[in-house]
Structure 1
Amino acid sequence: MTRTVRVAAVTFLVLWLAASKVAAQTDPAVAGQWTSAAPLPFNSSALHLLPTGMVMFYGVRPTGTDTRLWDPATAITSLMPLPGYNVFCSGHAFLADGRLFFAGGHIVDGVGLPNSSTYDAASNVWAAGPNMNAGRWYPTATTLANGDVLVVTGKIDNTVGPDLLPQVFQVASGTWRNLTSAQLYVDLYPRMHLAPNGQVFNSATSQTTRYLGTSGTGAWTVVAATNTPGYRDYGSSVMYDDGKVLVMGGVDPPTSAAEVIDLNAATPAWRLVGSMAFARRHLNATLLPDGKVLVTGGTSGPGFNNTATPVFAAEMWDPATESWTTMASAQAVRLYHSAALLLPDGRVLTTGGDDITQVELYSPPYLFAGARPTITSAPAAVSFGQSYFVETPDAANIAKVRWIRLGSVTHAFNMNQRINSLSFSQAPGGLNVVSPSNPNLAPPGHYLLFILNANGVPSIAKIVQLGGSTAPAPALPDVIVTSLSYASGIFTSTVKNQGGAATPAGIAIGVAYSVDGVYRTWGGVTGPLAAGASVTIGTNGGPYTIPGGTHTITAFVDDENRFAESDESNNQLSRPITIP
């Protein structure tokens, strides 16, 4: 009798725990909620949130010529002007003035177009831009701190392979600048993020991650190797905070592993964090206004696009705990050519996957956590470092102010999204909010401005333009030589960084020593050198004995131009010396 009671009790406990788990997974306040909307006319391969609040999408292969608009308020699709060529498999990013910039496109699989163009949502007009050096299929486009756009890789055709030459589209002149010193084989659709030092960080798909400096003729430098073995293709990557990057998923067979790197560190290094509950490739990762990262879709089975093993459950990554939580499950299969996009109301739109026209929207748990704060008004445009007024009746209850750059996503990567937490203070009738002052952290363009209460519930966003059509010059280091001496074959100099930013971490600060204009030896230390700081640099190369007589010795800091400076003309110091 006692044993029977015990078995019954254990059985009840197991069933109760299982029921509790199911309830937790289906309670929208815990797991969020999926809803469906009217299907699209064709399966989409890309989503772009325009400054008007509408969403642009287009299809796969032949329907890459057919751009359409989708209205988040009504879930209705409408016609729009057409680009005049196939933008499927292009790279794309928003310009400072809100135009959506496209680079490359589709002829057939593996063969790219050299086209560039812009779509202006305000005027509803497409405009052709100058062609690139060659066709690009699967390139990545990244908006830089000054508003120009970097375009990297993309396949020329199936004989030549990828385009090795990175190019920068110069918005002011409408011309391309070639980074001829940075020609390197880079994987298709590389995951690229503008870093705090003004360079562009390549976080995936290779295990070797790098910076690409875009000043001058460009230069790649190795940053660190990831811990996850394999080629992280069709995984995703997000910059979830200033200079902090999370990568997850990808590889074949797919991995559940996730890693983070802090580019603000003196020596950035990848660090494993909690793994997802499901291995995935062809997933999408979306930044949310509460600072968390939502992962949706993908396949867990081996092979390029295993349709037999779709992952329906969403997962949420919390940067505070660096762990994942399994959320509600979608109905639609989201694999290759699927996309996910944050909307101004805080929901996430999911579409696509080959032959999938079904539209689903995910409402995160914060939409079930009580009343939402409201923004009554906010400025349409602000400048860098500006304090501006956001009118809200909920000012006393606001705990966070964040904005997220408008999304532009395809092939498991959002090329435009990034998030900033903004400083703010209460004011009568609202909040005084300060925009970022550093365009390396927030490049010019349009952002979704959210205010969040103490429960983490966000408002419906206002779309705010940062920086207008131009951005201030990003803060840069400026190294000079302040003293120079010589004794017994050894040169010694003092180098000061009088610029507004540290020199890049891990990049050498080299000094070339010459006598009477002829190079003789060198010295160096490894950065960073903080703004305002000085360092003594001796002789690392072989000592040089200066012959007797009167000579001129010179120290030339950063003689190989390893990093960009605010002033490149003040790097040398010369002085006379008499040797007995």
Structure 2
Amino acid sequence: MKTTLLHLPSIIFLLSLTLPFLSGAANGRWQLLQKSIGIVAMHMQLLNNDRVIIFDRTDFGLSNLTLPNGRCRHDPTEKALKTDCTAHSVEYDVASNTFRALFVQTDVWCSSGSAVANGTLIQTGGFSDGERKVRMFLPCNNCDWHEMGNALVTRRWYSTNHFLPDGRQIIIGGRRQYNYEFHPKKQSEYKNPYLLPFLVQTNDKGAENNLYPFVFLNVDGNLFIFANNRAILFNYRNGSVLRTYPEIPGGDPRCYPSTGSAVLLPLRNLEAPCVEAEVLVCGGAPRGAFQRRLFSPALDSCARIKITDPKATWTVDTMPRRRVMGDMLVLPNGDVLIINGAHLGTAGWENAKKPVLEPVIYKPNGLVGSRFVLQCATRIPRMYHSTAVLVRDGRVIVGGSNPHVKYVFSNVTYPTELRLEAFSPYYLDPLYSHLRPVIVSPSSHASMRHGEKLRMVFEVNGRVVPELVTATMLAPPFNTHSFSMNQRLLVLSRGKVRSRGNSSCEVVVTAPSSPLLAPPGFYLLFAVHQDIPSEGVWIRMH
């Protein structure tokens, strides 16, 4: 009887979930959301209406989801299928666990994107007839894709986007594109892109290894750009390289198709005269692995560099699992989740084996050698073309995986994967429910200006430890090919935590002082108590 009582909270929690399978405990939990969404989740973006826009590619033939109302896609230039009445994009509603088919006309294969200041997803490039297209998706009921024509000055396939302090986005690189451009454009920017010789210098013949470069907005307004095994600090306004960072230890490539991943670690002490910024790069494949196709063991290293340090050097840590094609997500409490991927091979069709089923949590503030915590395993391999995004309730939505040119469901080791699942990190375990804050105010979709004070009221079903209360602000990213573009977590400066009775507390937090720290747009605001985050509320930075 004693054992039964001790486990009663967990049992109640499990029974409350009606979905087909659950596994794990305080090291995470997996939950199947949909047996099929009809398409492969190659690209994902959470919007500020708590819906995730998911899309695949259009040039392989039929998906497993029919477009509604007899609608069909007609493309006389398409080689696979000139008339296609199936969907290649869906909108997933997190709250209701439902999805609906969306219509996209041109090919979005291996494209890029960013949610801009008003919350609209601006999606760029792709393949063939989609390579110069710009598409928009508004966060509204029953909206669909709107295509803007050839709004890019050159083809963009495997490029990276990043939002900017002025509200625009920059689009960098792509296959055989050693340049960058902006959206929207100024009048003088419509004819030619801006050259970026760094992308020529980091191009491995036959492998490239500089596609989907890792790009982060530094706290000084310049861009940290990592491609292959090297990085620069780049002034995109005048096209100048401000500094070149040391080569990553070992010299192995980390960008597509050797596909590791990277994050900007949480930005802290935002009111300090000099805010520090660090980048973490994990996994990838040894040099030559893509050309040899020998399924070489993936890299097991993570390298970290303080990009604001004039004498910046890399420090290296070892992951508990080798991993190529892993996704890295910054969680609301500042931890980093590393999820998806394979032990052997590289990105590309049929180029990887031995899936990594266990995610891992990286603790940025831990000591070297003790920063990683292995999590419980999924039962679904997530290989090439898999994705993951954090949603407002703190779960991570995981989808995709298709190492084949077309959809293949039988007689292969890793079938095309249409299931959607959720990973719940340890902080959602019932063991920590007494620590978990609930935000009472501000209300969702409140507005904040840079440097403004914000009164946050939250409740905890237990005793608050004021010294262990923080507030964080997360920019939800665009995720594809193991990189989350525009991902950014800021730890807000705060005043004293004041009690408002037995279970309610109040704290005044300060918004980031500049768009260099937090470009305009929608963010998720979290209260974090003893490392356990609340559900987020949407706020808009102006």
TM surpasses 0.5: yes
1:552-571 equivalences in 2 (<5 Å) = none
Distance 1:223 1:66 in 2: 40
After superposition, give the CA deviation of every residue in 1:245-292 in whole Å (9 maximum; x if it has no partner).
1000011431011000111212222221x2111111111111111111
Distance 1:434 1:131 in 2: 38
- Please state if 1:357 is matched with 2:378: no
Within the candidate set 21, 42, 47, 1:45 is matched to: 42
For CA contacts below 8 A with separation 6 or more, give which structure has more relative contact order. 2
Determine the structure 1 residue equivalent to 2:160.
140
Counterpart contact for 2:233–2:244, Cα < 8 Å:
yes
After superposition, give the CA deviation of every residue in 1:389-444 in whole Å (9 maximum; x if it has no partner).
22323495561111111121000000021110011233566332211013222222
Is the partner of 2:438 in helix, strand or coil? coil
1:127-276 equivalences in 2 (<5 Å) = 128=148, 131-155=151-175, 162-170=176-184, 180=194, 182-183=196-197, 184-185=199-200, 187-204=210-227, 206-219=228-241, 221-232=243-254, 233-242=258-267, 243-251=277-285, 252=289, 253=296, 254-272=298-316, 274-276=317-319
Counterpart contact for 1:299–1:306, Cα < 8 Å:
no
- Please state if 1:377 is matched with 2:441: yes
Deviation at 1:229, TM superposition (A): 2.6
- Please state if 1:343 is matched with 2:339: no
CA gap 1:220/1:122 in 2 versus in 1, 3 angstroms:
farther
Distance 1:46 1:169 in 2: 20
Deviation at 1:370, TM superposition (A): 2.2
1:310-329 equivalences in 2 (<5 Å) = 310-321=355-366, 322=368, 323-329=371-377
Deviates more, 1:323-332 or 1:383-392: 383-392
Distance 1:226 1:93 in 2: 27
Is the partner of 1:309 in helix, strand or coil? strand
Note the residue ranges of structure 1 that are not aligned, 5 or more in a row: 1-25, 156-161, 468-580
Deviates more, 1:71-80 or 1:124-133: 124-133
Counterpart contact for 1:384–1:435, Cα < 8 Å:
yes
Note the residue ranges of structure 2 that are not aligned, 5 or more in a row: 1-22, 64-85, 203-209, 268-276, 290-295, 403-415
Deviation at 1:350, TM superposition (A): 0.6
1:135 counterpart letter in structure 2? R
Distance 2:140 2:325 in 1: 32
Deviation at 1:221, TM superposition (A): 4.2
Counterpart contact for 2:178–2:195, Cα < 8 Å:
no
After superposition, give the CA deviation of every residue in 1:123-182 in whole Å (9 maximum; x if it has no partner).
735251652221111110011122221111112xxxxxx112211224687965866353
1:235 counterpart letter in structure 2? G
Within the candidate set 313, 320, 333, 1:277 is matched to: 320
Deviation at 1:207, TM superposition (A): 1.4
Determine the structure 1 residue equivalent to 2:56.
59
Determine the structure 2 residue equivalent to 1:116.
134
After superposition, give the CA deviation of every residue in 1:493-518 in whole Å (9 maximum; x if it has no partner).
xxxxxxxxxxxxxxxxxxxxxxxxxx
1:7-22 equivalences in 2 (<5 Å) = none
- Please state if 1:422 is matched with 2:440: no
After superposition, give the CA deviation of every residue in 1:192-251 in whole Å (9 maximum; x if it has no partner).
1111121111134x1121122111345474222110332212100000123211000011
Counterpart contact for 1:32–1:362, Cα < 8 Å:
yes
1:329 counterpart letter in structure 2? A
Distance 1:433 1:220 in 2: 34
Distance 1:465 1:420 in 2: 14
Is the partner of 1:118 in helix, strand or coil? strand
Determine the structure 1 residue equivalent to 2:524.
448
Q: Which has the larger Rg?
A: 1
CA gap 1:181/1:56 in 2 versus in 1, 3 angstroms:
closer
Within the candidate set 93, 111, 115, 2:114 is matched to: 93
CA gap 1:221/1:328 in 2 versus in 1, 3 angstroms:
same
Determine the structure 2 residue equivalent to 1:75.
97
Distance 1:393 1:199 in 2: 39
Determine the structure 1 residue equivalent to 2:332.
289
Is the partner of 2:428 in helix, strand or coil? helix
Percent of counterpart pairs with the same letter? 24
Deviation at 1:374, TM superposition (A): 0.7
How big is the alpha-carbon RMSD for the aligned residues of Structure 1 and Structure 2? 2.4
Distance 1:180 1:41 in 2: 39
Counterpart contact for 2:58–2:106, Cα < 8 Å:
no
- Please state if 1:400 is matched with 2:423: no
Distance 1:463 1:169 in 2: 25
CA gap 1:119/1:218 in 2 versus in 1, 3 angstroms:
farther
Determine the structure 1 residue equivalent to 2:205.
none
Equivalent pairs, count: 428
Is the partner of 1:86 in helix, strand or coil? coil
2:230 counterpart letter in structure 1? T
Deviation at 1:345, TM superposition (A): 0.4
Distance 1:165 1:327 in 2: 40
Within the candidate set 27, 31, 35, 2:31 is matched to: 35
Is the partner of 2:345 in helix, strand or coil? coil
Within the candidate set 463, 467, 475, 2:538 is matched to: 463
CA gap 1:221/1:53 in 2 versus in 1, 3 angstroms:
same
CA gap 1:83/1:308 in 2 versus in 1, 3 angstroms:
closer
Is the partner of 1:308 in helix, strand or coil? strand
Within the candidate set 107, 115, 124, 1:103 is matched to: 124
Counterpart contact for 2:39–2:88, Cα < 8 Å:
no
2:133 counterpart letter in structure 1? N
- Please state if 1:330 is matched with 2:378: yes
The structure with more strand, counted as a fraction of residues: 1
After superposition, give the CA deviation of every residue in 1:466-520 in whole Å (9 maximum; x if it has no partner).
12xxxxxxxxxxxxxxxxxxxxxxxxxxxxxxxxxxxxxxxxxxxxxxxxxxxxx
Is the partner of 1:198 in helix, strand or coil? coil
Deviates more, 1:422-431 or 1:65-74: 422-431
- Please state if 1:434 is matched with 2:502: no
Is the partner of 1:28 in helix, strand or coil? coil
